[in-house]
Amino acid sequence: MSTLFISDLHLSPAQPELIQLTVEFLVKQAPNIDQLYILGDLFNTWLGDDIVPDEFQPLIDQLMALNQVGITSYLMVGNRDFMIGKAFAERCGMTLLADPTKINLAGKAILLMHGDSLCTDDVSYQRYRRWSRNRFLQWCFLFLSASYRQGVSDKIKQKSREQKQHKTATIMDVNHDEVSRVMKKHHVQYLLHGHTHRPAIHHLDNGAFRLVLGDWQQSPSFILFDGYQLQLFDQRSPGAASTVRLV
Ligand SMILES: [Mn+2]
């Protein structure tokens, strides 16, 4: 059973070449995989399932094509595209996943997350995360016109850019106590997430592993489970350090 994990593609209509690259990547991977997990921030912005830019149609078609050849695909939302709902997932033949979700690979429990909730040192972001995930506010947001939603989204992004200038790299990475707390709570030795754009496989003190997917701004970043081992493919993370055997 081969499983592919990706996250943080940050696709937008402004970068059609990245959409194209993603479609080609999925076409190429399709013959080798049984399952696909997209762990958040597939899109750079999401204004609602009723406003899907036409530029994404080739990707939607390709995801549906995976579904038709029997590949099971799962979609978790990230901090950028958290407004994705069931309607869009269904349009792509994908199943929405909660964050976190525990899965089983070769008898080992793996916890999947986007990763933003682990960055607890970033207090202002966690505050924003709490209100932006409020179901009632989200429901209200979807009654706004497309241009108004775009305006709100632009304003939030601009504010986040301004605040980022004053945040250190450590603040924007995961908090290690939070990582141990979450892994303990879910009884897992393996945690796989994206979000931080710091692709790596970390060997933790207690013999556990934290696997981090990279973003796609330079080139595709992915983790592949081939039935025996998890391997991180990312230009920034070289060969030997990038595999974990599960069997
Ligand atoms: Mn993210």
Q: How far is the CA of 188 from the centre of ligand 1 (A)?
A: 22
Residues of the chain with pLDDT under 70: 238-241
Instruction: Give which of 96, 202, 82, 191 is closest to 142, Cα–Cα.
Output: 82
| Element holding 38 (H helix, E strand) | strand 35-39
**Ligand 1 midpoint to CA 247 (Å):** 30
Cα dihedral: 116, 121, 124, 129 (round 10): 30
pLDDT at 241: 67
| Amino acid 240: pLDDT | 56
Ligand 1 centroid – CA 138 distance (Å): 18
Distance of alpha carbon 174 from alpha carbon 143, whole angstroms: 34
Report the relative pairing of strands 190-193 and 108-112 from DSSP bridges.
parallel
Half-sphere exposure of residue 122, counting CA atoms within 13 Å on the CB side? 24
pLDDT at 203: 94
Q: Which pLDDT tens digit goes with each residue over 223-234? A: 999 999 999 999
**What residues does the ion ligand 1 have nearby, CB within 5 Å?**
41, 78-79, 195
Give pLDDT, residue 142: 93
Token readout for 56 is: 């994404």
CA 119 – ligand 1 centroid, Å: 11
Q: What is the pLDDT of residue 1?
A: 84
Token duo for residue 144: 């706004």
Element (H, E) at 178: helix 176-185
CA of 59 to the centre of ligand 1 (A): 20
pLDDT digits (tens, 9 = 90+) for 116-132: 999 999 999 999 999 99
pTM over 0.85: yes
- CA of 106 from ligand 1 middle (Å) equals 28
Torsional class of 90: left (φ above 0), alpha (ψ -120 to 50), beta (otherwise): alpha
How much is the pLDDT for 239?
62
* 141 CA to centre of ligand 1 in angstroms: 21
What domains does the chain contain, in order, with CATH numbers?
3-245 (3.60.21.10)
